[in-house]
Structure 1
Amino acid sequence: MQSLDYRVIEQAVNWLADGKTVWLCTVLSTFGSSPREPGSLMVATSNGDHMGSLSGGCIEDDFLDRLVAGEYELPAVIVRYGEPGEKSDNAHVRLPCGGILDVLVERLLVNSDNQVHLQQVLSALAGQDEQLRSVTLIDGGAWLEPAGPTGPKVLWEDGAEVVRIRIGPVAKLILAGYSTVAEACANFAINLGYQVVLCDPREEVMRGLTLPQGVEFIPQFPSLYIASPGACTPSTAVVAVTHDPRIDDLAMMTAVKTSASYIGVMGSRRTSQARADRLRRTGGLSDAEIERIHMPVGLDLGSKTPAEIALAIMADIVRIRRGRTLIEI
């Protein structure tokens, strides 16, 4: 699955290869409501051709008009959109949602350094491991370095000279078995931009079902798919919500052997404790491996319906992916 980020960088590589200077734009931070999250990309050329978006259409026209008029000639600059008052050069641009965006704009000339760097970014987006892309605001110099499996999308504070942006493969959700909760999780995940794979070998369960558009269905035991080469990366979450130990337990036993950053299984606290004992006794899992499993899965929202349970699960997955810890009150 190729993400929009991948297609944006691929287009930038192609334009550079054609001898065209490109401007690579990255959303760094948002204040209030905004339609695009930090890390969102857009690339453009001096004649206004572009791919990707920064705001879903609110500011792109203004940016492209300024670009065609000859602005943004610095190697790297941060532009704020949506802020009222005299401090902003873009004060006349108002996001309909009332939000504010900080955007990193890089001017990438046609040279071997930029071509090599963007090829490295493209490889990172198609690879398995997260990378940190660092950009200096002084001269536009950029480089990649390994990142941990989870953390904020953008690391930057107002006034800092270096911007760090997390890049990597598309976030992926593996649903171990079908249930109404799994279907609700799939709907949330698709809307969040996740690649969604559902595995279930039970013909009697899957017969006649229509899965949400965009879900890849694999008719086999989830544990077999989870163990297959390349199925799980640090950007992968594995969730089992069937209440069928043949599916849930095997999926957990396999998932803890992978690099998946989130592993969770549904159940009450009592059944979760019984499952932990069972996985330790019959599955041979160590305490450290059992500790990796979120059980009960999801945030404690008092959820009752399948949609509410799915919301709690996906919220927890996003929390872990963004490197946030729970605050005990």
Structure 2
Amino acid sequence: MDTIDLDVLKNCAQWIAAGKRCQLVTVIRTWGSSPRPEGAMLAISEDGIVVGSVSGGCIEDDLIAKVRAEGITRTLPELVTYGITADEAHRFGLPCGGTLQLAIEPLGPASGIAELLERLGRRELVARRLDLGSGAVILGPATSGMAMQVSESALTTIHGPRWRLLIIGAGQLSRFLASIAAGMDYRVTVCDPREEYREGWNIDGVELLHGMPDDLVLDMKLDHRSAVVALTHDPKLDDLALMEALKTDAFYVGAIGSRVNNAKRRERLKLFDLDDAQLARLHGPIGLYIGSKTPSEIAISILAEMTAVKNGVAVPQDMTVQAAKDAAKLGAGGEACGI
């Protein structure tokens, strides 16, 4: 499954290749409450087709109306601000008087969209610099931690590898977790050497591998945009992979299981060459307390905790402990015995 941004860029490339006029709209600044974050993108073709979002619908309607009434007449990038006055904020549906500034860029073959997509396909982290005066585009390598930059003369946006999620185990819970994560900007890989669990796996956009999980962790070279979740309940598959993952920069490493089972897991991992700081990074029981009663709800609770960690939000311990208690009520044994 494509992320929203990739979908926007792919549609732009298709329109350009077909000779259609189109423009790319990027949120570059926000003030107050705004529906979409800085960097959010939207593309509009000359016939008013829209992909992506910059406001959740209100600003899009105005942009579409202008294109349908006037066509795409811009030849150079333009900065446009919505919601400066309370009346405009109300008219465009911006919450609490929010204001956002957009960069509207007419696209063509020289805009570098096709090359950008090629680089993203090679999992490169790319900086795209748009000269606001001339419309010229330069693509170059970006470094980890770079963010969008806006000046009077240029807009530099960062495009790069999607967040990665490695799921160990291909059971029922893994299917829900993989499906939801694929729509949350994760490139999802599922690893399970057990043939009986891989049989019938058919989730689009999710890579299924049959090697040993610890070997895959090493091969993937996990970074700070990576997460690992172990769901097999089998120490032979989970423990070595978790050991290797805890040595990496992965922002989240977690394992399913009750508090008792996770305590036993930590004791086993102490026998390997992990220090206390590395062991402290292991999340388990995993998931936030949301009253989960089914595998699909447990998947949501796991992704909720992952999202909190990714965004630097502190998670109270009682929210994970209670989640484990609730999930344990689903029954003994198997994936649903506790998170």
Shift of 1:101: 8.0
- Is the CA contact (8 Å cut-off) linking 1:43 and 1:51 kept in structure 2? yes
1:26 alignment counterpart? 26
* Aligned counterpart for 1:167 among listed residues 149, 159, 165: 159
- 1:31 CA displacement: 8.4
Structure 1 residues 305 and 210: CA distance shift in structure 2, 3 A: same
How many angstroms does 1:307 deviate by? 3.0
* In 2: Cα distance, 1:213 partner to 1:30 partner: 38
- What amino acid does structure 2 have at the position aligned with 1:220? G
Cα pair distance change 1:288/1:165, threshold 3 Å: farther
With normalisation by structure 2, the TM-score equals 0.67
Alpha-carbon distance between aligned partners in 1 of 2:128 and 2:267, rounded to the nearest angstrom? 42
**Which has the higher relative contact order, 1 or 2, with Cα contacts under 8 A spaced 6 or more apart?**
1
Q: Tell me the percent identity.
A: 30
The root-mean-square deviation of aligned C-alpha atoms, in Å, is 4.6
1:146-225 aligned within 5 A: 146-148=143-145, 167-207=159-199, 209-225=200-216
Unaligned runs of 5+ in 1: none
Which of the residues 294, 298, 303 maps onto 1:309? Answer: 298
Tell me the residue number matched to 1:104.
102
Instruction: Tell me the residue number matched to 2:238.
Output: 248
The one-letter code sitting in structure 2 at the alignment partner of 1:77 is L
Deviations 1:64-118 (A, max 9, x none): 342462777774424437x995235xx65559x9997835223358797x65xx6
Structure 1 pair 307–9 and aligned structure 2 pair: CA distance change class (3 A): closer
Residue 87, structure 1, aligned to residue 88, structure 2: yes
Give the 5 Å matches for 1:12-161: 23-27=23-27, 39-44=39-44, 47-48=46-47, 52-54=51-53, 59-67=59-67, 69=70, 75-80=77-82, 85-88=86-89, 92-93=91-92, 102=100, 104-107=102-105, 115=112, 122=117, 125-126=120-121, 128=123, 145-148=142-145
1:258 is displaced (CA, Å) by 4.1
Q: Match of 1:87, SS?
A: helix
Amino acid at match of 2:287: G
Tell me: CA distance 1:198–1:110, structure 2 relative to 1, closer, same or farther (3 Å): closer
* CA deviations over 1:129-178 (Å, ceiling 9, x no partner): 767778898998998753439xxx9799xxx9998865322223221013
Query: Matched residue of 2:87: which SS?
Result: coil
Q: Is the 8 A contact 1:174 1:239 kept in 2?
A: yes
Report how far residue 239 of structure 1 moved.
0.5
Number of residue-to-residue matches in the alignment: 311
Say yes or no: does 1:285 pair with 2:274.
Answer: yes
Q: Which moved more, 1:298-307 or 1:127-136?
A: 127-136
Residues 79 and 71 of structure 1, relative CA distance in 2, 3 Å threshold: farther
Higher helix share: 2
Q: Which runs of 5+ in 2 are unaligned?
A: 318-339
Equivalent in the alignment of 1:325: 313
- Helix, strand or coil: the match of 2:145? coil
Contact 1:183–1:211 under 8 Å retained in 2: no
